[in-house]
Amino acid sequence: MKAIVSERYKSWKKKFKILFNKNVIEMTGEKNENKENIKNSHIIICTPEKLDVISRNWKNKNFIKNINLIIFDEIHLLGQENRGGVIEILVNRFKNIQNELNKKVRLIGLTTVITSVDDLILWLDVKENYIFNFPSSCRIVPCKTHILGFTQKAYCARMSVMNKNVFDAISQYAQSKNVLIFVSSRRQTRLTGFDIISLNLSSHNLNFLHTENLLNDKNHLKFLQNKGRKKEETTKVSKKWDDPTNLDRHTGEEMPHGDYLDMQIPDFTTVLSKNLSGEEKVQVQNLILQNYLNIVENEHLKELLKYGIGIHHAGLSENDKNIVEYFFLNKIIQILICTSTLAWGINLPAYLVIIKGNEFYDPKTKKYKDISYTDLLQMIGRAGRPQFDDKALAILLVQEKRKNAIKNFLYHPMNIESNIMENLNEHINAEICSHVIKNKEDMFNYLTKSYYFKRIFSNPSYYIKDIQYVQLFENNKLSTQAKKTIYDHLNNIIDNTIQFLQKNKCIQVIQEDYIQTYYSTPLGHIASVYYIKCETVYFFYKTIEQNFCNVTPLGDDIITNGEMNIIPQCGGDQQKEENKVRNNDDQSCQPCVVNDTVEKNPMQDITDEEHIDKCEDIYTVMPKKELTFYDLFELIAQAKEFDDIPLRHNEDKYNVKLRNQIPLDINMNMHNVKTYLLLLSRLYQCTYETVDYHIDLKLVMDQIPRVINGYIDICLLFHKYNYIKNLILILQLYN
């Protein structure tokens, strides 16, 4: 998704500036803009997650209030597990903004062919004459689809057998046209690539590398020369060169003759302006290719490019991705092997698309799961582009038992189901923190505006397990009993969500005039601001609380349910003023409440700033062991955000070898031990047994800033400045 944002930004930046004098900015997890640039921009291109972050607490952000148009590209991503819920929350949020500000916010959704279009347009409030629904037959470039089934039960064995069919399909159908191969994992990209090379060398000996195309476009030579100049130590290459007019690009003087010369990256533009013979052109082509290979960082990619095969996945550096994309787009390499992320990313054309396998490994469940139908459609959609081809071909290699189901899906439009439940707790916490949801009625109304609410009435058996025992329809309408079951189900969702947030001390519930009102705590505010899990902030809070002090109470009434209530109420000055007006006793701060009642205790009349300091007056304090620098490392690794870091086959052995390089006593049974080892390995500059660990470390590094910044804010609640100092040091180490 970041890739497609970047591509769209590059395309629109000049276009809108020249034609309409409009400023375009790009915002993703990696690229942020300051407030001044956002204020002066007219168009923001961003990922759904980034828009979710910046639009939280929108009442205090004028640039969010000024948004008049939102375009959701690929809105059928609603059906995707992680991203779907974010899109649903965004639509809900901007519908609320529209109602509260009494202004029109135009929503446009672009999607593939779907059957649940009626529910979608009802949810988006689209008028009938603004619906444009085209069938698959309207595709500009016709695409034939072939499906092959494989009976092997073991995943690795099936993947290995598929490689022969992949190569056969390339040799039979591709000819000299581009081929995109989608695989299920980053490891499979390189395994598939090396297998294709082996099969090619042992039989056909086809040529997938077309270095002659390097001379077609001279613009990329500037990129290569700029890369050479930027390097602190210029890469030197050995080359054979017989051009008598070979000039030094720095001095303009004729260079000495010789069979092999150590040269800096030459001025290719000067070289290519001469009349070169066929042999000299080949030498220049090889020299250009070698200079590209010298700046490729991934060793496996470097080796594969020599044979005209590229790999592309999120674990590659930006530099490597740019080189691979350029090579494939300009037909320097013929084959590109990638993960499904590329299907949602940049627009790379291919005549032949091969989807190798219909499942992927899910680290959460530690099982193989089927690829979603939306992903399959997106991959097939990469076959054929109007500006390049007049026809296209897609080949799916799947399990035999899934063959018929996938075939039926391909020839019938799909339903898009809601995935808002995936991260509902975090989304509701953010809305409570923004004062959008204040009580159960608000939360119920919020859910009724969701796509989930529309789909649960259209397809109740998909969302509610017990509803299969209920008579669903009477006279072609949903029965009264079914409606009651649905509303009971929604009430259970609300109760479970509130209980979860209370348990993790992200909200407190206060009884006010027969109504339970929800208020955010500092932990809830931190989780919302830094876009981290509620379980993570509570886990960090407990680690500090347990090491903060050993408490002996002076009276039983100052402990609620056996726990210290030292979290000050969150919400700022406005919420404090509301509390004063609401409470005749002028209680400016309430303790955190686990149940729905508040008990009078000695801490009720203490301000937020004095809350923690006053603990020493009310309790007998016995200091515990302080958390060390490495203790904080270990706790950071156990954050919920890192649960998705996969533990693959045989990686237990790799973890042990990695531990042996680190001079610390490490518990190999701890939660997220692999993440902990990856963090320490960077600190101690360890070597890895497999390249996958470099990729996994990059995933960890993407999450680290948000997690550590959240931890720092929690430490501030306890005035643990020595912890904050160490956390800032850790943050600097990984930045």
Q: What is the DSSP string of 629-664?
A: HHHHHHHHHTSGGGGGS---TTHHHHHHHHHTTS-S
State whether the Cα torsion 256-260-262-265 is positive or negative: positive
Q: How far apart are CA 534 and CA 429, in angstroms?
A: 8
pLDDT tier, 337 (very low <50, low <70, confident <90, very high otherwise):
very high
Q: Which residues are 381's β-sheet partners?
A: none
DSSP single-letter state for residue 568? P
Tokens of 728: 């800032």
Q: Which of 29-33, 52-56, 653-657 has the lowest mean pLDDT?
A: 29-33
Dist CA 291 CA 228 (whole Å): 9
Residue 588 to residue 575: CA distance in whole angstroms: 9
What residues contact 428, with CB distance under 8 A and at least 6 apart? 437, 443, 446, 497, 501
Average pLDDT, the chain: 80
Comparing 161-175, 179-193, 334-348, 489-503, which segment has the lowest mean pLDDT? Answer: 334-348
Q: How far is CA 291 from CA 229, 284, 325, 499, in A?
A: 12, 11, 17, 60
29 CB-side CA count, 13 A: 14
Q: What's the average model confidence in pLDDT over 677-698?
A: 89
Q: Please spell the DSSP secondary structure of 1-45, one letter per residue.
A: -HHHHHHHHHHHHHHHHHHH---EEEE-SS----HHHHHH-SEEE
Highest averaged pLDDT of the listed ranges 48-62, 112-126, 201-215? 48-62
Task: Give the global pTM.
Answer: 0.76
Residue 6: pLDDT band with limits 50, 70, 90: confident
Instruction: Give the Cα separation of 569 and 522 in Å (integer).
Output: 7
Q: Which pLDDT value is given to residue 226?
A: 58
Mapping DSSP onto H, E and C, the string for 181-223 reads EECCCHHHHHHHHHHHHHHHHHCCCCCCECHHHHHCCCHHHHH
In the chain, the domains with their CATH numbers are: 47-136+419-500 (3.40.50), 142-209+307-415 (3.40.50.300), 211-297 (no CATH), 504-622 (no CATH), 629-734 (1.10.3380.10)
What is the Cα–Cα distance from 309 to 294, expressed in whole angstroms?
A: 17
Phi, psi of 423 (to 5 degrees): -130, 40
In the predicted model, is pLDDT for residue 217 greater than 90?
no
Between CA 51 and CA 26 the distance in angstroms is 11
| 498 vs 32, higher pLDDT | 498
Q: Could you tell me which residues come within 8 angstroms of residue 594 by beta carbon, excluding any fewer than 6 positions away?
A: 502, 503, 560, 561, 563
pLDDT digit string (tens) for 378-413?
888 888 877 778 889 999 999 999 898 888 877 776
Residue 333 CB coordination number (10 Å): 26
| Contact in structure between 311 and 300 (CB atoms under 8 Å) | yes
Tell me: pLDDT of 193 over 90.
Answer: yes
Q: How far apart are CA 507 and CA 177, in angstroms?
A: 58
**Phi, psi (rounded to 5 degrees) for 72:** -100, 100
**507 DSSP β-pair partners:** 520
Local confidence band at 608 (pLDDT 50, 70, 90 cut-offs):
very low
Give the separation between CA 144 and CA 555, rounded to whole angstroms.
Answer: 77
Beta strands at 237-241 and 352-356: parallel, antiparallel or unpaired? unpaired
pLDDT confidence of residue 447: 94
- Given a cut of 70, is residue 515 above it in pLDDT? yes
Residue 622 predicted with pLDDT over 90? no
What CA–CA distances, in Å, run from 395 to 40, 181, 328?
47, 9, 20
pLDDT given for residue 385 in this prediction? 75
Distance CA 734, CA 709 (A): 13
What is the model's pLDDT at position 242?
37
**pLDDT given for residue 259 in this prediction:** 33
**The pLDDT of residue 258:** 33
Residue 594 has pLDDT above 80, yes or no: no
Q: Which of 670, 667, 683 is nearest to 642 (CA)?
A: 670
pLDDT for position 16:
93
- List Cβ<8 Å contacts ≥24 apart for 666-673: 670/634, 670/638, 671/638, 672/637, 672/638, 672/639, 672/642, 672/643, 672/645, 673/637
More confident residue, 191 or 242: 191
Other residues' Cβ atoms within 10 Å of the Cβ of residue 186: 22
Taking residues 441-469, what's their average pLDDT? Answer: 87
pLDDT at 482: 81
Q: How confident is the model at residue 77 (pLDDT cuts 50, 70, 90)?
A: confident
pLDDT in tens, 250-309: 334 443 333 323 334 455 555 555 666 777 778 878 888 888 898 999 899 999 999 999
The model's pLDDT over 131-149, given as tens digits with 9 standing for 90+, comes to 887 776 677 888 889 999 9
Asked if the model's pLDDT at residue 616 lies above 70, the reply is no
The pLDDT, as a whole number, for residue 636 is 96
Tens digits of residue pLDDT in 551-567: 333 233 323 333 334 44
**Other residues' Cβ atoms within 10 Å of the Cβ of residue 205:** 7
* Model confidence at 707: pLDDT above 60: yes
* Cβ neighbours of 384 (radius 10 Å): 24
* Residue 60 CB burial class (10 angstroms; 0-12, 13-18, ≥19): exposed
Helix (H, G, I), strand (E, B) or coil at 443: helix
Count the Cβ atoms, other than its own, within 10 Å of residue 610. 14
Q: What is the pLDDT of residue 347?
A: 75
The SS3 assignment for 502 reads helix
8, 354, 355, 502 from 179: Cα distances, Å: 23, 8, 11, 52
Q: Among 180-194, 240-254, 518-532, which is the least confidently predicted range? A: 240-254
Q: Collapse the DSSP code of 268 into the 3-class scheme (helix H, G, I; strand E, B; otherwise coil) and give the result.
A: helix
Pairwise CA distance, residues 601 & 619, whole Å: 13
pLDDT tops 90 at residue 129 = no
Half-sphere exposure of residue 345, counting CA atoms within 13 Å on the CB side? 17
Q: What is the pLDDT of residue 611?
A: 42
The pLDDT value recorded for residue 268 is 54
Greater model confidence, 352 or 574: 352
Residue with structure tokens 């809105």?
A: 75
Mean pLDDT on 469-493: 79
Q: DSSP per residue over 372-425, as a string?
A: PHHHHHHHHTTB--TTT-S-EEEEEEEEGGGHHHHHHHHTSPBPPPP-GGGGHH
The predicted structure's pLDDT at residue 247: 36
- The pLDDT > 70 percentage for the chain reads 78
